[in-house]
Structure formats: structure tokens, C-alpha cells
Chain A
Amino acid sequence: MKIRTFGYTLKQGFSNIFRNKWFSLASIATISACLFLFGIFYAIVANFQNIVKTAEEGVSVTVYFDEGISDERIAEIGEMIEKRVEVSKVVYVSAEEAWEGFKTEYLGEYADGFTENPLANSMNYQIYLNDVSMQSALVTYLESVEGIRQINKSEVTATMLTGINALIGYISIGIIAILLAVSIFLISNTVTIGISVRKEEINIMKYIGATDFFVRSPFVIEGIIIGLIGAVIPLGAIYLLYHQVIEFVVGRYAMLSQLLNFLPIETIFKVLTPVSVIVGVGIGFLGSITTVRKHLHV
């Protein structure tokens, strides 16, 4: 296609939007609504996953060593554990540190009665994971390591967090699929109406010798533009609303602000902007091209 023809096609694509302005507006509004819901949903999911991830980072596996184990072997075990893909961080807690922590947490002033460290054999490694779903694999490995006496783990927390993650994933896929299907259906309707309104013009084009590509392109451009506008509007709306909603939540429920760590808008938009634009343009393109192929036998 020559540049001037592309320019003409682009102009016709825009003109189509204005010619069928009410249907175009309806499509833009629906795609905007779908992508707005998607954006809101994504912001909630991203924040929730961030909270879950923060919680996961707090989940650790503790390993205790056999009695009389040498310091060299403890260091060796530490190196072996650090090399594992499941592991994000390994912290060594000496017997003294373990006793100090226990005293502070549970005994307080009653600890003065102890002259020796009752936890002399309780030096350990606290192992933090990259992903809690990998906990059981790590535990299986640790059970096979010589020199490890006991492994403490929180099976319930790990299973629950893994379950929540999976659930969020399934819900996300389901909702996104529904929103996409609705948007494609609506854009397809708009293009179908556009084609029926311009049937005569299309016939004239055919008689004059327009190629299929020449006839179809403006409709595809129209779909893409509708999709693009439909993506930009909700992005703007979410950008304006995000801070206000978080400020409202934090202001209204002060307790939450200490528990929850909200993501900055920039982090949300780093993913949301390209995804919304690609989805908007994609459904515009898909919706229009399938409709044009179905209804325009030129």
C-alpha cells in the first residue's frame, strides 16, 4: 500500500467513527468499561499479590543440627542450602541468639534464674523461600542432608498462601476472558452496523475496481482506533482514581495501612498500560477483521 493510500485509509477509518458516532461511542464506552474493570481488577490483584508476597517472605523453614556437629559441617550445610533455587535467604542463628530471642519473647525477667543456656543445642538456619509452594520440595531435600536433626515448617501457611495465589490466578483468567469476549462481541457489532450503513458505498467501490484490502482496511482501522480510545480512557480514569482510593482506604481504616503495603501507581501502570493498549487494540483489530471477513464478500 502506498503512503497516500494509507493516509486515505486512515482518514476513512476516522471518518467511519464519526459517521456511526453513536455506535462508535457505544463501543468505546463498552471497551472502556471492560478495560476499566480489568484495570481495577488488576490493581486489586497486583496489590493483593504484593501483600501475599510480603507474607510469603516472612514464611521460613528452620533446621536444627545433630548434637556435637562441627562448625565446619554447619557452614557446609549453609552453603548447600544457599545454592538451592527455592531459597531466597539463609540466616544463621547461634545458640546464644536463639536463647536471647526466646528470653525476650517468652521469659522476660524470669530468665534471670537460668545460669546456663538451656538452648545450647539450638543453633539453626532460618531459610526464607522464593515461593512458598516450593516448601515441600525443599523439606524433602533437607531431610536427606546429613547433620540435620529437625526441620520446623509451617505447612498450613504455605498451603494457604499457595492456594490463594492459585485462586487469584484462576479468577484473573476467568474475568479477563469474559471481558475480552464481551468487548470483541461489541466491536464486531459496531463494525457490522458500519458495513450495513455503508453497503452502497462498498458496492460502488467494488464496481470501480477497489481491492478487498482497500475496502476492508478502513473498517479495520476503525476497530483499532475504537480499541485504542477504549484503552486510553480507563487508563486515565484509573490513574486519577488510584491515589484517591488508597488515601481513602488508609484514612478510613488506619489499621490497614500498617498491615497492607500498597503498590505505587507507577508499578501498576508499568504492566497495566501496555497490557490495556495491546488488549484494546487487539480486540479492535480482531473484532473488526473477523466481522469484515464474515460480512464483506468483495
Chain B
Amino acid sequence: MNIKYLEVNEVRSSNRNKKMTTPVSENEIITLENVSKAYSTGAPALNGVTLHINRGEFVFIVGDSGSGKSTLIKLLLRELTPTEGNIRVMGYDLNKLRHRKIPKFRRNLGIVFQDFRLLKDRNVYENVAFAQRIIETPTKEMKKNVPSILATVGLAGKYKAKPKQLSGGEQQRVALARALVNKPSILLADEPTGNLDPKNSWEIMKLLEEINEAGTTVLVVTHNREIVNAMQKRVVTMKKGVIVSDEEKGGYIDDED
């Protein structure tokens, strides 16, 4: 595998909108300062979360259901806005980001879901090309980029297949290819191995690691204890809307409740 787009990422992530209350380091790509998010019903989903992630890091976000992981991802995608606190991603101040600027912001993010979310009526090539169409990539370039990224995820021979003709692992690879084809600065993976068997889970995690080694910042939300413990990456553990631990080369902390 050969993923080389570190330079592109660096150029893209030049800070665009530098207004924020607390100064942040040039190397920081994600900054959350005292972020809380309360829904109209129930306890706050996030409560005073502060998190700093540097360019090129690989971070696991772990925690049980209801710990606030999904809310965190939604905030990073600017699907939600915080009730309190500030969020800055790739230089964008998400609290002040206007609705019409959201698409441009999201084009620098790659996102992978547990349920793959592929377009069922389109083949592998079209699913990946879809992401390029959205950013209006010239057709000539698209015809180079899509096969190249499909080769990267090991699906070069299956570009004509429809999602239902693929295994879960292969579908997740297509989702990964789609997330990566626009060369994002950050890859958010929400339970990427949740629907996969152990073998496919490991293959996907290896791919994520290689993507990270090529320069992309990778955030993986997961329940998979084995993988977290084996990969020895930074682990942020959440519980009831707060960060309870943040360790370099950490492991999965068992819930003592």
C-alpha cells in the first residue's frame, strides 16, 4: 500500500478561521474547550469536555452506550452545535460556522459508519466517484483517483459490484475508499468494525493505521476492546458525557459500575 497525500493535507489544513477564545497550537487539528451539549430532554450528553488532538494522531474514543461518543462525533461533523464551550476543527470555529459553509468544511473530513451507508443502487465505482462528484472533480481526474483509492483498499477487481454482492468487510472498504478519495485531513470512523467479524475488523483497522501513517488524523469510536488494547494508540475514555481518561498508548478501561 502506498498512500501519499500528506502535502495536500498540510496545504488544506492551513488555518482559515482563527477566532477562538483560547489560543491553540499550530499543530492542533481538533480542539474542544469545555464543551457541553444538552438535549431538550434528559441529562447533558456532553458535560465540560476538553480535548486536544494534533495533526497526524490516531485516537480511539471509547466508552459505553450513553457515554457521549456519538454526540462528540456529531459535534465534530457540525451536525450539532454545543450548548456551551468552543469547538475548532481544521481551523474552522464550528460555533460560528455559517450553514452555507458547512459543506465546504465537511469536504475536509472523511467519515465511516458502522452500517457502511453505501448507495445500494450504485456499484462500487459509482459509490466512490459520488464523493468526487460532490466536490466537482474533473472527470479525467476522477477516472484516475477512484481506481487508485480502490486499489489502496484492495477492491480494484470489484469496482463493478453492487454493495449487496460484497461482504461486510468489503462494504466497509468501499466506505473507507469513499471517505478517503477526496483526501481528507481527518478521518472519523464511528464503530467501523461494529458489523464485522474479527478477521475483517483487523483488516479494516490495519487499513486505518496505514491511512494514519500516510498523514491523515484518524479518530475511531469503538467498543472493540481487543483492537484498542492491541493497537496501543492514544485512548480517550468517556463516561456519562465526560472524559474520564486520556492516555497515550492506552487500553480499554472497563466500566466498574
Contacts and interface: CB of A to CB of B under 8 A. Distances in A.
Contacts of A211: 100, 103
A68 interface: no
B4 interface: no
A208 to B, nearest CB: 5
A5 B129 CA distance: 13
Given A204-B117, A208-B178, A8 B107 contact: no
A10 to B, nearest CB: 13
Interface in B53-97: 77
B255 interface: no
A209 B119 contact: no
B119 A201 contact: yes
Contacts, number: 47
Nearest to B117: A204
Nearest to A201: B119
A8 B133 CA distance: 8
Given A209-B103, A210-B103, A4 B134 contact: no
A208 B136 contact: no
A294 interface: no
B221 to A, nearest CB: 15
A200 interface: yes
Contacts of B100: 211-212
A205 B139 CA distance: 19
Given A200-B117, A207-B77, A4 B103 contact: no
A214 B100 CA distance: 12
B142 to A, nearest CB: 9
* Interface size, B (range): 20 to 34
A142 to B, nearest CB: 67
B130 A208 contact: yes
Contacts of B256: none
Contacts of A212: 100, 103
A212 B182 CA distance: 19
Interface string B115-146: 00101010000000011011110110000000
A4 B107 contact: no
B150 interface: no
B106 interface: yes
A3 to B, nearest CB: 10
Given A208-B106, A208-B107, A209-B107, A5 B119 contact: no
Interface in B98-113: 100, 103-107, 109, 111
Contacts of B138: 4
Contacts of A19: 121
A200 B122 CA distance: 13
A297 to B, nearest CB: 10
A206 B130 CA distance: 12
A209 B119 CA distance: 16
Contacts of A206: 103, 106
Interface string A108-140: 000000000000000000000000000000000
B77 to A, nearest CB: 7
A214 B134 contact: yes
Nearest to B105: A209
A129 B237 CA distance: 92
A209 B133 contact: no
Interface string A201-226: 10111111111101000000000000
Contacts of A2: 136
Nearest to A9: B133
B95 to A, nearest CB: 19
Contacts of B104: 209
A204 B107 contact: no
Contact of A4 (B105, B121, B136): B136
Interface in A168-201: 200-201
Interface in A35-94: none
Contacts of A5: 133, 136
B139 A210 contact: no
A266 B104 CA distance: 52
Interface of A: 2, 4-5, 8, 19, 200-201, 203-212, 214
Interface of B: 77, 100, 103-107, 109, 111, 117, 119, 121, 130-131, 133-136, 138-139, 178, 182
Counting from the closest, the 8 A-B pairs by CB-CB distance are A209-B107, A209-B106, A209-B103, A210-B134, A211-B103, A208-B131, A207-B111, A208-B134
20 contacts: A4-B138, A4-B139, A8-B133, A19-B121, A205-B130, A206-B103, A206-B106, A207-B77, A207-B106, A208-B111, A208-B130, A208-B131, A208-B134, A208-B182, A209-B104, A209-B107, A210-B103, A211-B103, A212-B103, A214-B103
